[in-house]
A and B are shown apart, each in its own frame.
Chain A
Amino acid sequence: MQFLKFIQQPWHWSVSGLLIGLTVPVLLLLGNKAFGISSSLRHICAACFPADISFFKYDWKKEAWNLFFVAGILLGGFIAGHYLQDGNDIQVAAATQARLATYGVHDYSALLPPEIFSWSNVFTWKGLVFFVIGGLLVGFGTRYAGGCTSGHSIMGLSNLQWPSLVATCCFMAGGFFSANLLIPYLFKWLN
């Protein structure tokens, strides 16, 4: 099982980036589909709770490929998470580790810190901030922006669309503000 051992190591950024970028032509070749994931959230709304809102009144079944694609991501996450990991701690930059320690985050055994991402936090202030408010911002923000990292930053930039460059710069600006000013403050309040 040399091959399995080989792919169980963390992948180099160039290999990962190449494979993510190839998703763009693969979806076009499979059926002229534009790479974009946040649309799936809109289709779920249209399918389950359209509530007579015009934004959700369209034939979502025509876009069902997108729902199959995200179901695949879930399945791929399961396969990679359960069979393709080498069991070592994730290697995080020392400066970030020092900063996360002040947040009370010390466990690097998985891709996400269990100090935050565990069921016991759901009905706490931490859960409200990291799951509910964070999720609302992701869903509201991506739809308002008309796309997310996949639709704008990868598909849009690949197609040299300047509105996607504006969106990407705003994603990054929001993230820099959040990670450097907001999150430290949130942890001070939550811990």
Chain B
Amino acid sequence: MKNIRYLVAGTFFGIVLVKAQVISWFRIQEMFQLTSFHMYGVIGTAVVTGIISLQLIKRFKIKTIQGEPISVAPKTFNKGQIFGGLLFGVGWAITGACPGPLFAQIGTGFTVVGVTLLSAIAGTWIYGALKPKLPH
């Protein structure tokens, strides 16, 4: 099964999310109350690491382990990044989680977050249903 490698990568990523405490509701409150540098340090370091990695991949035309070329699709702007972004931000502070941490929170034993995850899936579905009527 070629997808098992992503299960393994996800497992490592899940462990990192928990140990980084970025899945903690407390850390999210600190971030938005500007009382701790922790979250800014984590996200900032992650972005710098990502920028350097992508520059190296592009500069040296590094290929995937199967020898295929690597390409990253550019993001196109639409108003959803503003309206959707603001709404997600409000939800991020309430739940203490973005989508990835929802899965990790459930894994650590807070099974009640499964209700939040189902609601997030419902929210995604509602977006899909309303998409033609929303400003983009």
Q: What is A's interface to B at a CB cutoff of 8 Å?
A: 7, 10-11, 13-14, 16-34, 37-38, 40-42, 44-45, 49, 51, 53, 55-56, 64-66, 68-82, 84, 90, 92-96, 99-100, 108, 110-113, 116-119, 121-122, 127, 129-150, 152-164, 166-180, 182-183, 186
- Return the chain B residue nearest A100 by Cβ: B29
Q: What is B's interface to A at a CB cutoff of 8 Å?
A: 2-33, 35-39, 41-51, 53-54, 56-57, 62, 64-66, 68-78, 80-100, 102-113, 115-129, 131, 134
Q: How far is the CB of B45 from chain A (nearest CB, A)?
A: 3
Instruction: Classify the interface of chain B: helix, strand, loop or mixed.
Output: helix
CA distance A169 to B41 in the complex (A): 16
CA distance A20 to B100 in the complex (A): 12
> Which residues of chain B have C-beta atoms less than 8 A from A161's C-beta?
74-75
Q: Are A75 and B11 in contact (CB under 8 A)?
A: yes
Q: List 20 additional contacts besides A25-B53, A173-B86; criterion CB under 8 Å.
A: A17-B49, A20-B13, A24-B53, A25-B50, A41-B124, A75-B107, A78-B109, A79-B107, A81-B109, A95-B33, A108-B26, A136-B126, A141-B87, A144-B84, A145-B83, A148-B98, A157-B51, A167-B82, A174-B92, A178-B94
Q: How far is the CB of A10 from chain B (nearest CB, A)?
A: 6
Number of A-B contacts (CB under 8 A): 516
CA distance A141 to B99 in the complex (A): 11
CA distance A100 to B124 in the complex (A): 30
> Which residues of chain B have C-beta atoms less than 8 A from A82's C-beta?
108-109
Q: Are B75 and A134 in contact (CB under 8 A)?
A: no
Q: List 16 A–B pairs whose Cβ atoms lie within 8 Å, in order of A's numbering.
A: A17-B45, A18-B49, A30-B5, A40-B99, A55-B129, A73-B10, A76-B10, A77-B14, A111-B105, A135-B119, A138-B88, A142-B88, A143-B127, A152-B85, A173-B85, A178-B89
Q: Are B14 and A76 in contact (CB under 8 A)?
A: yes
Q: Decide yes or no: A159 and B54 within 8 Å by CB, A23-B9, A135-B117, A179-B29 being known contacts.
A: yes
Q: Are A176 and B100 in contact (CB under 8 A)?
A: no
CA distance A27 to B53 in the complex (A): 12
> Which residues of chain B have C-beta atoms less than 8 A from A64's C-beta?
3
Q: How far is the CB of B133 from chain A (nearest CB, A)?
A: 12
Q: Decide yes or no: A129 and B94 within 8 Å by CB, A18-B45, A20-B46 being known contacts.
A: yes
